[in-house]
């Protein structure tokens, strides 16, 4: 598909699957709509899906299972005629010290944050490799490299995600499929808002960011669009930190 003169990114008419109808996922879905892409959003929550823009196709699915991921990809191919772009924006956290962390919470966070990325990336990868073209963008975190206290499973899942991205990128590069990640810093979303609203917490995190503010979901969408575009054809296996300088200090 060739972009129009005004479609510098080449995303008009692209067929996009966004995993996760939370703050980041929804912002990405809307950004793709604005550049003319066709968008499907998958999420476990029917309530979140019901809040989506009516131009977005919502699909309820459990992305922690192989069957759920394969079913979503099949639905996108059936509804849109193919799959060009996958954005994985699924994530949960549970802030407790390692000694207070139980096995169930550890496994649940790894299943949601990391295993869903593996299963969905694999299912989408098959389609993209057969087509000879594809873009996959995963949402990592500064926690993938910073040793935040009370973040053990979250940090482990995001660190693992970074390496998963690199390996998939290495294996699929010759097939025209790129795989990259963004790593947001302290960003205000539904996932983080309750924590940030605790007394003094928002000011504490702002002090750690050289830019002097928290990130917003709109700070992330431009980078996602670029990595999903034809302009990023030679960019693969990269983790782009979008953190206002947090990882510099």
Query: How do strand 15-19 and strand 177-184 relate by DSSP bridges?
Result: unpaired
Query: Annotated catalytic, 205?
Result: no
In angstroms, the CA 247 to CA 208 distance is 9
What pLDDT sits at residue 130?
Answer: 98
All structural domains of the chain = 15-243 (3.40.50.720)
Dump pLDDT digits (tens) for 205-249.
Answer: 999 999 999 999 999 999 999 999 999 999 999 999 999 999 999
Residue 130 near residue 81, CB atoms below 8 Å: no
Q: Model pTM? A: 0.95
Given a cut of 50, the residues of the chain with pLDDT beneath it are: 1-5
Of 133, 154, 186, 205, the catalytic one is 154
pLDDT at 193: 85
pLDDT for 9 equals 95
The predicted pLDDT at position 194 comes to 85
pLDDT at 55: 97
């Amino acid at each position: 598909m060739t972009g129009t003169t005004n479609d510098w990114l080449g995303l008009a008419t692209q067929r996009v699957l966004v995993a996760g109808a939370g703050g980041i996922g929804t912002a990405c879905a809307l950004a793709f709509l604005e550049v003319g892409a066709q968008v499907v959003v998958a999420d476990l929550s029917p309530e979140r899906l019901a809040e989506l823009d009516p131009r977005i196709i919502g699909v309820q699915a459990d992305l922690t299972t192989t069957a759920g991921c394969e079913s979503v990809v099949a639905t996108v191919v059936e509804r849109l005629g193919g799959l060009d772009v996958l954005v994985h924006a699924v994530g949960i956290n549970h802030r407790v010290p390692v000694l207070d962390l139980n096995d169930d919470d550890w496994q649940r966070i790894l299943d949601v944050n990391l295993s869903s990325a593996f299963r969905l990336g694999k299912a989408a990868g098959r389609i993209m490799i057969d087509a000879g073209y594809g873009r996959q963008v995963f949402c990592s975190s500064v926690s993938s490299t910073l040793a935040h206290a009370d973040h053990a499973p979250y940090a482990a899942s995001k660190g693992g995600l970074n390496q998963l991205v690199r390996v998939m990128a290495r294996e699929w590069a010759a097939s025209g499929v790129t795989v990259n990640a963004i790593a947001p810093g302290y960003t205000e979303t539904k996932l983080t808002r309750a924590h940030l609203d605790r007394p003094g917490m928002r000011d504490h995190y702002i002090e750690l960011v050289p830019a002097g503010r928290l990130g917003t979901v709109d700070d992330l969408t431009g980078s996602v669009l670029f990595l999903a575009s034809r302009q990023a054809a030679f960019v693969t296996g990269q983790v782009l930190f979008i953190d206002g300088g947090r990882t510099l200090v």
